[in-house]
Chains A and B, each alone.
Chain A
Amino acid sequence: GAGVSQSPRYKVAKRGQDVALRCDPISGHVSLFWYQQALGQGPEFLTYFQNEAQLDKSGLPSDRFFAERPEGSVSTLKIQRTQQEDSAVYLCASSRTQDSTDTQYFGPGTRLTVL
């Protein structure tokens, strides 16, 4: 299918390691979002891209978190010096336009476990 894909699906990291999580949005979708979902909680917004421009990064919890979308399609969320509290599912979503009314379509997520 042509949905949002994410890789890897599971990632185990030792505390202090850097990780990179990839998101492939639906082809042609302008908007891309990253969310963090802790166990038993709803997703929480991290950052938003419109094409290659990162327009909102207000949800990034610390400067250890960095996201990019250099060509306006694939996006990477990088977490430096991982901590145990970073353990969560990281969800990526895309929507067709920059219109805030557009429905977001979600990928399956990457489950990050920091030991």
Chain B
Amino acid sequence: AQKVTQAQTEISVVEKEDVTLDCVYETRDTTYYLFWYKQPPSGELVFLIRRNSFDEQNEISGRYSWNFQKSTSSFNFTITASQVVDSAVYFCALREGLPGNQFYFGTGTSLTVIP
């Protein structure tokens, strides 16, 4: 079973529009960590945010914001006033609190911002 689901395969928006990328996760752990990474065309995964399961406060960083809701097992990512440079593939990832060391990545959402 997929532990992290990103149902949106591809999204296109016009520059300056807001866009939300969805992420739904599945775990039986009470302690876990959620991440978002950006993968631009260069291929390198760029860390955006980490959130632990005990902290449900939403977070805003500039044009980026994250909405963590344990009740729906979701960790959605919103980009406000999108820019062309935001075009990339975005991955949501889960790391469980067990002594395993894996990140479980979703299949990614490819975002294209049209100028």
Contact = CB atoms under 8 A, between A and B. Distances in A.
Contacts of B93: 42
Contacts, number: 62
Contacts of A40: 107-108
Interface of A: 31, 33, 35, 40-45, 48, 55-56, 59, 89, 91, 93, 100-101, 103-109, 111
B71 interface: no
A48 B102 CA distance: 8
Interface residues of B, number: 26
Contact of A89 (B43, B47, B104, B108): B43
B63 interface: no
B101 A43 contact: no
A103 B108 contact: no
B42 A43 contact: no
Given A100-B95, A101-B33, A103-B50, A43 B45 contact: yes
Interface string B1-40: 0001000000000000000000000000000010101000
B100 A56 contact: yes
Given A48-B102, A101-B95, A109-B43, 13 more contacts: A31-B101, A40-B108, A42-B91, A45-B101, A59-B102, A93-B45, A100-B95, A100-B97, A101-B33, A101-B52, A106-B44, A106-B45, A108-B44
